[in-house]
């Protein structure tokens, strides 16, 4: 697929958006050829910034006619190399950064319509301006965009209460690889009319078309919000506390995040403004987030009751409740910076896995034993969205180890951790997607019938295989 694209063809693509919005120089292209973790470095002769859905349509029509590969890229914050063009090929990058409008907010119907290039934080602000909440929240929210969030079916910190992007979307506008425009911007909660085409594009990582617009669900702004940080002795106690929180708070439990001592230590050491609010050290910590829609008092009462009962049951060893919005943000900042805090500690091998919540302690113990047996001295930093069964099982290099030699063991360590995940009926990608990073592993672990179905869908929608080829599932 398009190992090289002629200068004449590049000019035809550039003419669609105008020369000003067609980037060709090395310096302009450079930031778009590398992804966040530096795992992939691709090549591309051209990046196009269309202004509207018609220009996106013209680009994809020409791409299909000429067999030119196209990579959609919005915020370039993806963590599996899905948005990075392939190395040694001439994939053309299509960036939606100019298509960043909030098209409409309907506070009565509790929905918002946005362009695919709208920045997540701007969508949150637009909802807030109407007294509403758009609940998707993640560390990259200042730069990631709705098209990318939908295409990776992003999760984030509030999935426990509100679900991931799939649950937050009512309708889509998509440009198909042929250039046809599908206006599926439906505003309905209930719509049982045939196959669910919307769900086909959500989580497809740009392999089936380009998402140019979306109808998103809004929720009431909570009146009460409480955040607490608790020290615990074991993951088993964290699970028991999660169960208690679920029964006391119901849907008001909006976050339950697990963190290990090592993660808290390095975050307090390396990230500005982060400090451990507890006097003593504990092996494990949880961040508890409660939001209530009736009153502030309800949230306060719930948090106090939960922690009191947690202390009485011997689950909570110590706890601090944030007493201001600034303190709430600081606690979340600690949790969200944990991955970043691993960087000064040297190399880090990552896993984004999920297992049924009840299996988390088994998974943690088995994975810990297996990792330490394979790599004595490894420093495990397993943290994440415990309430969703989603653990970012990160491993920092042993102190003093050679970083390159450590990173060279990435796939070996993945195989060890993923085999335990699969033994517990879990998933090797809970929220980051497949991209280039896990494509071959996906093909190896999913039943042949599922991979074949994915390939048939891909071939039916994208017969020329121009949409983000080589990502998610290979059809070559
Ligand atoms: P990009 O990185 O540009 O693209 C991602 C994928 O979507 C690529 O395959 C790309 O080709 C495709 N794509 C992009 N735009 C379109 C479009 N308009 N149409 C079709 N395909 C498209 N994820 C979570 O789920 N939960 C988290 O808590 C979380 N935290 C994160 C924290 C940090 C600091 C970072 C850097 C990332 C985090 N992520 C998290 C990853 C997250 O999924 C992505 O960052 C985000 O959803 C991708 O949006 P983006 O606009 O950056 O997409």
Q: Which of 55, 138, 352, 385 to mutate to test the pocket of ligand 1 (most atoms within 8 A of CB)?
A: 138
Ligand 1 within 6 A of CB of 116: yes
Tokens of 58: 């013209």
Ligand 1 within 6 A of CB of 328: no
Ligand 1 within 6 A of CB of 149: yes
Whole-number Cα distances in Å, 413 to 161, 281, 394: 32, 29, 10
Ligand 1 within 6 A of CB of 468: yes
Strands 92-95 and 47-48: parallel
100 neighbors 145 (Cβ within 8 angstroms): yes
Q: Which domains does the chain have, with CATH numbers?
A: 7-95 (3.30.43.10), 102-220 (3.30.465.10), 224-339 (3.30.70.2190), 344-423 (3.30.70.2740)
What is the edge-to-edge ordering of all strands in the sheet holding 92-95?
22-23, 47-48, 92-95, 70-73
For residue 372, give the H/E element and its range: helix 360-374
Please report the atom of ligand 1 found closest to the CA of residue 468: 11
Ligand 1 centroid from CA 122, angstroms = 16
Mean pLDDT of the chain: 96
pLDDT at 356: 97
Confidence of residue 1 (pLDDT cuts 50, 70, 90): very low
How far is it, in rounded angstroms, from Cα 357 to Cα 341? 26
pLDDT at 3: 58
More confident: 366 or 38: 366
Largest alpha-carbon pair distance within the chain? 74
Ligand 1 centroid from CA 433, angstroms = 9
Please report the atom of ligand 1 found closest to the CA of residue 211: 19
Residue whose pair of structure tokens reads 């758009």 in the numeric block: 134
Ligand 1 within 6 A of CB of 79: yes
- The predicted model gives 288-299 an average pLDDT of 95
Nearest 10 degrees: CA dihedral of 19, 20, 22, 23?
Answer: 130
| Four-residue CA torsion sign, 280, 286, 292, 298 | negative
CA-proximal residue: ligand 1, atom 46 (nearest): 149
Ligand 1 centroid from CA 28, angstroms = 21
pLDDT digits over 18-36, tens only?
999 999 999 999 999 999 8
pLDDT digits over 125-170, tens only?
999 999 999 999 998 999 999 999 999 999 988 999 999 999 999 9
- The predicted model gives 278-306 an average pLDDT of 96
CA-proximal residue: ligand 1, atom 26 (nearest): 156
pLDDT digits over 220-233, tens only?
999 999 999 999 99
Ligand 1 centroid from CA 224, angstroms = 30
Q: Which of 86, 124, 154 to mutate to test the pocket of ligand 1 (most atoms within 8 A of CB)?
A: 154
Ligand 1 within 6 A of CB of 148: yes
So what's the ipTM on this one? 0.99
Taking the alpha carbons at both ends of the chain, their separation in whole angstroms is 9
Whole-number Cα distances in Å, 190 to 79, 112, 161, 242: 33, 17, 20, 32
Nearest 10 degrees: CA dihedral of 165, 166, 169, 170?
Answer: 180
2 neighbors 91 (Cβ within 8 angstroms): yes
Tokens of 345: 């500690």
How far is it, in rounded angstroms, from Cα 152 to Cα 82? 9
Ligand 1 centroid from CA 30, angstroms = 19
Q: Which of 406, 454, 446 is nearest to 428 (CA)?
A: 446
CA-proximal residue: ligand 1, atom 44 (nearest): 78
Ligand 1 centroid from CA 400, angstroms = 33
How far is it, in rounded angstroms, from Cα 349 to Cα 407? 7
Query: 98-114 burial, b if ≥16 CB within 10 A, otherwise e?
Result: ebbebeebeeeebbbbb
Instruction: Specify burial of residue 438 (Cβ count, 10 A radius: 0-12, 13-18, 19+).
Output: buried
114 neighbors 101 (Cβ within 8 angstroms): yes
């Amino acid at each position: 697929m398009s190992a090289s694209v002629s200068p004449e063809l590049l000019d035809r693509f550039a003419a669609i958006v105008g020369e000003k919005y067609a980037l060709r120089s090395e310096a302009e292209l450079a930031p778009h050829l590398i992804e966040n973790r530096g795992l992939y470095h691709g090549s591309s002769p051209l990046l196009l910034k269309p202004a509207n859905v018609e220009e996106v349509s013209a680009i994809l029509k020409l791409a299909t006619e000429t067999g030119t590969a196209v990579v959609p890229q919005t915020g370039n914050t993806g963590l599996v190399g899905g948005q990075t063009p392939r190395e040694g090929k001439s994939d053309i990058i299509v960036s939606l950064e100019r298509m960043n409008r909030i098209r409409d907010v309907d506070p009565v119907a509790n929905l918002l319509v946005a362009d695919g290039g709208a920045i997540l934080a701007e969508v949150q602000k637009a909802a807030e301006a109407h007294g509403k909440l758009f609940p998707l929240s993640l560390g990259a929210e200042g730069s990631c965009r709705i098209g990318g969030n939908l295409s990776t079916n992003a999760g984030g910190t509030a999935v426990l209460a509100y679900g991931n992007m799939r649950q937050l979307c009512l309708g889509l506008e998509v440009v198909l690889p042929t250039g046809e425009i599908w206006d599926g911007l439906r505003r309905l909660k209930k719509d049982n009319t045939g196959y669910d085409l919307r769900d086909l594009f959500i989580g497809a990582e740009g392999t089936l078309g380009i998402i140019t617009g979306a109808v998103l669900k809004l929720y009431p702004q909570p009146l009460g919000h409480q955040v607490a940080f608790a020290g615990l002795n074991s993951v088993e106690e964290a699970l028991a506390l999660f169960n208690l929180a679920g029964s006391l708070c119901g849907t008001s439990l909006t976050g339950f995040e697990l963190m290990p001592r090592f993660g808290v230590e390095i975050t307090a050491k390396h990230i500005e403004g982060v400090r451990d609010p507890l006097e003593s050290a504990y092996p494990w910590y949880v961040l508890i987030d409660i939001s209530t829609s009736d009153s502030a008092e309800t949230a306060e009462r719930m948090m106090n009751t939960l922690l009191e009962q947690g202390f009485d049951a011997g689950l909570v060893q110590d706890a601090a409740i944030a007493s201001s919005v600034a303190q709430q943000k600081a606690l979340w900042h600690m949790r969200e910076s944990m991955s970043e805090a691993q960087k000064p500690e040297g190399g880090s091998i990552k896993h984004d896995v999920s297992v049924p919540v009840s299996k988390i302690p088994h998974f943690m113990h088995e994975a810990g034993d297996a990792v330490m047996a394979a790599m004595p001295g490894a420093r495990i930093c397993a943290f994440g969205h415990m309430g969703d069964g989603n653990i970012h099982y990160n491993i920092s290099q042993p102190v003093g180890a050679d970083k390159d030699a450590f990173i060279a063991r990435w796939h070996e360590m993945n195989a060890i951790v993923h085999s335990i995940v699969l033994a517990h009926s879990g998933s090797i990608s809970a929220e980051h997607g497949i991209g280039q990073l896990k494509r071959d592993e996906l093909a190896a672990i999913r039943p042949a019938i599922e991979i074949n179905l994915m390939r048939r869908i891909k071939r039916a929608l994208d017969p020329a295989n121009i949409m983000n080829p080589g990502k998610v599932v290979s059809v070559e």
